[in-house]
Structure 1
Amino acid sequence: MRLTRLAGMLSTKARAVFASCIHSPSSCDSTIICRAGCSSKSSFGGERRCSSSAAARAAADTWRGTHNQKQHHKQRQEQLQKINNKEQQLLSPSAANWQQLWHHSNSHAPKFSEARCNSSRDCNNSSRSTNVVHVVLLNLGSPAEPTYTALWMYLRRTSAARYSKIWLSQEAVKEQLAPAAAALQERQQQHREQEQSLLQRQLQGVLQGGSASPLLVHHLSLAARLQKQLDLQQQQGIPRFEVAACMRYGSPDVASVLQQLRQQHQQLKLLLLPLYPQSTASCTASAFDEVFSELKRWRVMPDLRMVAGYSKHERYIDAIAALVKKFWEQNGRGDHLLFSYHSIPLDMSRSAGDPYACLCFQTSRLVAEKLDLQPEEYEVAMQSRTGCSAWAEPYLIPALEALAKAGCLQVDVVLPGFAADCLETLEEIQQEAAAHFKAVTDGRGELRVVPCLNDSDEAVNLIESLVLENTQQWWRQPA
């Protein structure tokens, strides 16, 4: 009788232990207690097992953990939705659009099969997008922001490029570039308006809400006018063109523009047109490198074509000659015509296999023939030399001094190598070179500068002809 009562008490305690194991949180202690109770032998020699109780406890813990995870996930999603709604209320429509493009361009893996071909309708839209030809106009660029840091980073990035060996000595940086940018940080110590360089006034104007640099303004305007001109061609049976503008060392940069095009169309027909008439490694090849550094990350390669230069294109020669004729009609013809191009270091010039200098002389000769000029009526010079190394000659300043000694008091300067007016044309030629020429002629000389193509009708017609010639196999039907 006593043994029976003890066995009953033991069974009651065991059931209590099992019950506490099932209803208590799944901890290490409860598991050990449960296993100890299950594996212990009874007082009358029998071994008691609790497999059914352990299974029930495991099922309860699994249900409880899954339920908690679902609740936590639901709360997290609701919190993120509230944050997104708040952001959308604060963002403008354009900012929200750019935010969406940024998130798409920074995805961890390409989602071509998921996002583009998840339905027959999307696949049909993707096939129709192949009839669009994307034209990307590329120029050198300008600093991203009107600050000392942005200007310094722009110059550092320009000089650190693979093909761009523009050696800036410490004296040149200290005397010319650093004061122009440091003046923006020290507004109270700024010079007067007439003492400030063009770079200072230009960057300070941007800070005060003014327009951007002339290079950027003309570049974007040229792209907009070209888009309108190509839209008119679409009515004549030519497929649709979409024009985009980017900068090699500025904003909008090459990578962001290409990523935006990739988000809009998967199978791209892309024409890259650097606005460098005379091809050189420091500009044209560097632009191609920047494009391929972005394309190597893609999984769907575009149908790509690139224009390496157009120094002897008939439309280009006619456009430069038309600019000179128009200038002469408005201001009269000067004593001499001077062709000025941006110089490059000699180790990058013809001795290294770069035909840039030869292309400059070829362009000058073709334009002079269009203007019916004799060889003694025009000169070719190279500008923008920096540092103490040897660059391509003849240099601009010695050429101006030679013209002054020859008795030429009115010299017209045309800059065919620059697609748009920039610091090299507006400050280096119109201000510095003009002041030097006036000084060497005892105040009697005048250096007149012919404006660049910029966004003129001649420039639009030239780029349009280049686009149509280099894309005709994409839209012209075989006979």
Structure 2
Amino acid sequence: MEFMNPRYEHGAPGKTGVLLVNLGTPEAPTKTALKSYLRSFLSDPRVVEFKGPRWLWLLILNAVILNIRPKKSAEAYAGIWDELGENTGSPLLHISQLQHQALQHVLDDGYVVELAMRYGEPSIDTGLDRLQQQGARSVIILPLYPQYSATTSASIFDAVSKVYQQRRWLPDIRFISHYHDHDLYIVALAKSVVEHQQHHGKQFLLMSFHGIPQRYLHNGDPYHCECHKTGRLLAERLGLRDDEYRVSFQSIFGREPWLQPYTDATLKSLPEKGIKAVQVICPGFAADCLETLEEIAVENRDYFMAAGGESFSYIPALNDRKEHIHLLSELIKQHSRGLDKTETGFQKDTAKRHKQHPFNRDN
């Protein structure tokens, strides 16, 4: 095997690279695009920890799920495509690009920022390659998942590791695995709630996080605990009593039990308990996407209203709010402490000898 380092230049000035990584999105709201996207997503062993042999899951995925689910998912994506403006396409990708641009703007020249998606484009391989081309001698990987889970953050770690298995030169790497209880994150969430309530009034607050199978929790995944800590800290910041908010879990897939209470069941039950006005926030999503704009703001709203609810509103994700960008920039600065972004004497000497070598002299 030949280990590659594309366009590497000895002695090039060093910078700290930042790779922002989110889940990903299909290229278009079509059955074909969704089939390709879902195949990549659901074939990840971190996402689906199948209890049987791997070949059996892949058989079920390709023979059954990918012949049924893509059409339904494509219809859901079509409902939110270009929702943020004409020709904006996927909301997740569009917002992630805005986050990328804003973060590069607030960081100094010693940093270079690239965007990647775990599934789809731009790929993690492409993002790391672009950082190297811009002189990144150290790399900070920032998964845009506040709460750690093996299904998300660890999957990104796997993908980064796979890329570097094929590279000759490895940078200093730092991996931000979570920030669920970071004060600036809680402050940003709280401010988004307060601003929303200034326009809509104060109502019961439902904090909906993406779910995972209960089995993952019992096997040691800390995600459930981190979601509840985020919920508790946000409630404390907002001064909420226990009866003024609740934590729930959405996006259930398959037949086995997932983390509970379920968001849809919770919303269906609230009106009969006298709670007919509700506001929903999804603290685990760094950018609005299908799970927030369609599943929460449309599908689950309908469940609540059909059950007797009278007022429902969704509080947008932090997206490219300035408080969110400030949080991300501070995370990066904190994790870059001790990383040398300058060219070392050894690098200068190596570059000088490299240029003086007979094989490298200009003819």
Q: TM-score range by the shorter chain?
A: 0.7 to 0.9
**CA–CA distance in 1 between the matches of 2:99 and 2:252?**
28
**What's the offset of the Cα at 1:210?**
1.9
Matched residue, 1:212: 89
TM-score of the two chains, using structure 2 as the length reference: 0.84
Q: Secondary structure of 2:119's match?
A: coil
Q: Give the aligned length.
A: 330
Deviations, residues 29-79 of structure 1 (Å, cap 9, x unaligned): xxxxxxxxxxxxxxxxxxxxxxxxxxxxxxxxxxxxxxxxxxxxxxxxxxx
TM-score of the two chains, using structure 1 as the length reference: 0.65
**CA–CA distance in 1 between the matches of 2:112 and 2:224?**
34
* Structure-to-structure mapping, 1:392-411, within 5 angstroms: 392-411=259-278
* Structure-to-structure mapping, 1:13-162, within 5 angstroms: 110=4, 116-117=9-10, 123=11, 126=12, 129-130=13-14, 132-162=15-45
Question: Match of 2:97, as an amino acid?
Answer: L
**CA–CA distance in 1 between the matches of 2:131 and 2:263?**
42
Unaligned runs of 5+ in 1: 1-106, 118-122, 182-196, 235-239
**What's the offset of the Cα at 1:174?**
6.7
Matched residue, 2:106: 229
Question: Match of 2:150, as an amino acid?
Answer: A
**What's the offset of the Cα at 1:222?**
0.5
Verify: 1:446 aligned to 2:314, yes or no: no
* Structure-to-structure mapping, 1:268-307, within 5 angstroms: 268-307=137-176
Question: Match of 2:125, as an amino acid?
Answer: A
**What's the offset of the Cα at 1:162?**
2.0
Deviations, residues 291-327 of structure 1 (Å, cap 9, x unaligned): 0000111111101001000000010111111110110
Matched residue, 1:186: none
User: Using CA pairs below 8 Å that are at least 6 residues apart, which structure has the higher relative contact order?
Assistant: 2
**What's the offset of the Cα at 1:116?**
2.7
**CA–CA distance in 2 between the matches of 1:471 and 1:453?**
23
**What's the offset of the Cα at 1:332?**
1.0
Verify: 1:326 aligned to 2:203, yes or no: no
**What's the offset of the Cα at 1:226?**
0.8
**CA–CA distance in 2 between the matches of 1:111 and 1:258?**
11
CA contact (8 A) 2:46 2:154 kept: yes
> After the TM superposition, which parts of structure 1 deviate over 3 Å for at least 4 consecutive aligned residues?
107-112, 166-177
CA contact (8 A) 2:188 2:323 kept: yes
Question: Match of 1:214, as an amino acid?
Answer: P
Matched residue, 1:346: 214
CA contact (8 A) 2:25 2:92 kept: yes
Q: Secondary structure of 2:284's match?
A: coil
**CA–CA distance in 1 between the matches of 2:245 and 2:306?**
22
**What's the offset of the Cα at 1:163?**
0.7
**CA–CA distance in 2 between the matches of 1:176 and 1:153?**
12
Of the candidates 112, 128, 131, which is equivalent to residue 242 of structure 1? Answer: 112
CA contact (8 A) 1:165 1:345 kept: no
Verify: 1:466 aligned to 2:331, yes or no: yes
Deviations, residues 394-438 of structure 1 (Å, cap 9, x unaligned): 111221133111111110111100001000000001111001111
Q: Secondary structure of 1:211's match?
A: coil
Of the candidates 219, 234, 256, which is equivalent to residue 126 of structure 2? Answer: 256
Q: Structure 1 pair 448/320, CA: closer, same or farther in 2 (3 Å)? A: same
Of the candidates 280, 285, 290, which is equivalent to residue 418 of structure 1? Answer: 285
**CA–CA distance in 2 between the matches of 1:223 and 1:412?**
29
Q: Secondary structure of 2:336's match?
A: helix
**What's the offset of the Cα at 1:242?**
0.8
**What's the offset of the Cα at 1:152?**
0.6
CA contact (8 A) 1:172 1:386 kept: no
* Structure-to-structure mapping, 1:301-316, within 5 angstroms: 301-316=170-185
Question: Match of 1:355, as an amino acid?
Answer: P
Deviations, residues 420-469 of structure 1 (Å, cap 9, x unaligned): 1000000001111001111110xx52221101000111111110110111
- The percentage of aligned residue pairs carrying the same residue is 35
Unaligned runs of 5+ in 2: 51-59, 343-363
CA contact (8 A) 1:142 1:215 kept: yes
Q: Secondary structure of 1:281's match?
A: coil
**What's the offset of the Cα at 1:262?**
2.6
Of the candidates 224, 228, 240, which is equivalent to residue 373 of structure 1? Answer: 240
**CA–CA distance in 2 between the matches of 1:373 and 1:264?**
47
Q: Structure 1 pair 386/109, CA: closer, same or farther in 2 (3 Å)? A: closer
* Higher relative strand content: 2
CA contact (8 A) 1:397 1:433 kept: yes
**What's the offset of the Cα at 1:216?**
0.4
* Higher relative helix content: 1
